[in-house]
Amino acid sequence: MTGDPLVPPWLITDSFEDRDAGVLKSGKEAEVFLVERVGDDGSSHLLAHKRFRPRYPKKGELEALGFSKGTIYRADAVYQAGWGLKPRERRALEQGSKFGHELAANMWPYIEKSTLERAWHAGASVPYPVEQTEDGILMEYIGNREGAAPRLATAGLSHEQAREARDQLLANLRVLSGERIVHGDLSTYNMLWWQERLVIIDFPQAVDAFSNPAAPDLLHRDLRNVQEWFERHRAGFDVEEVFVELVTLLYGGPAADKLTRRQGGRLKAYDRPENR
């Protein structure tokens, strides 16, 4: 175990072997695999390995790499606006060239891991990002050995639990906004419900409010996307009221203060509950 206070105590960091343990889920551009990390002392825990599919796979390559299906490309230009690319890279993305697709394939896991790191250290309820791999991210697994945590959309929450989930969501959005992070693709399918705790997942399309001018629009869309579900579960909220609060945090909260003062002190992280 590590002594670093910014690393959760359950994570095995010395003398271990990572073993494949099956597929968790398949998405548009990535699949999530289950990994068991086993320490030399016999201790173990599960991790989730999110792997992004190759953009231009050769015949049989996807199957050889363990992927179950091909990639469905997303309309992603709005998310790329804040990537800080060189003119040649920007042109390649706009033209949809092979180089542009390969560049985007490398950027998605980088964006997701860096965003998860910022969010986790700020105190948001997100999976702990363990490390970036050759084709994705190894991260905290939410669930236990009997199964993964259900998505909020299918968790079967009572009205009381839905109100608790709403309150947790809004609290987490305040944390993210204070760090100038906008999820960009929020829905009840990329939030998990585990042991009365809401966990937000899937951040490759997240944007920084200081570098992407579309951040407010994406934030407003995120709120609209989830409000209907909460409304159906008698846990609705006022989209416009919450939007104003979060935009104020995006551009005038802790992140703006840190940017103005050029201070980047490390934030104290909270420990995750043991769910192994």
What are the domain boundaries of the chain?
A: 16-261
| pLDDT above 90: percentage of residues in the chain | 59
Q: Which helix (H) or strand (E) holds 163?
A: helix 159-178
Q: Are 123 and 267 in contact (CB under 8 A)?
A: yes
pLDDT (tens digit per residue) in 143-166: 999 999 999 999 999 999 999 999
Q: Which of left, alpha, beta for 39 (phi over 0: left; psi -120 to 50: alpha)? A: beta
Question: How far apart, in Å, do the first and last CA atoms of the chain sit?
Answer: 15
User: Does the pLDDT at position 229 exceed 70?
Assistant: yes
- State the Cα–Cα distance between residues 170 and 174, nearest whole angstrom: 6
State pLDDT tens for residues 47-80: 999 998 665 444 444 444 444 444 444 557 676 6
Query: Where does the pLDDT of residue 259 fall: very low under 50, low under 70, confident under 90, or very high at 90 and above?
Result: very low
Quick one: pLDDT band at residue 254, thresholds 50, 70, 90? Answer: low
Q: Please tell me which residue, 159 or 271, carries the higher pLDDT value.
A: 159
pLDDT in tens, 1-24: 344 558 899 999 999 999 999 888
Query: Residue 125's pLDDT band (boundaries 50, 70, 90)?
Result: very high
Q: What are phi and psi of 120, to 5 degrees?
A: -65, -45
Which helix (DSSP H) or strand (DSSP E) does residue 138 occupy?
strand 136-140
Task: Flag whether pLDDT at 238 surpasses 50.
Answer: yes
Quick check: 12 and 45 in contact, CB under 8 A? yes
> CA-CA distance, 30 to 54, in Å (whole number)?
9
What are phi and psi for residue 50, nearest 5 degrees? -85, 115
Mean pLDDT of 30-41: 92
Q: How far apart are CA 122 and CA 274, in angstroms?
A: 20
To the nearest whole number, what is the mean pLDDT of the chain? 81
Predicted confidence band at 28 (pLDDT cuts at 50, 70, 90)?
A: low
Task: Give the strand pairing for 129-132 and 143-144.
Answer: unpaired
Q: How confident is the model at residue 25, as a pLDDT? A: 77
Q: Is 62 exposed, middle or buried (0-12, 13-18, 19+ CB in 10 A)?
A: middle
Q: Does domain 16-261 have CATH number 1.10.510.10?
A: yes
Least confident of 89-93, 218-222, 255-259: 255-259
Q: How far apart are CA 183 and CA 178, in angstroms?
A: 13
Is residue 34's pLDDT more than 50?
yes
pTM of the model: 0.79
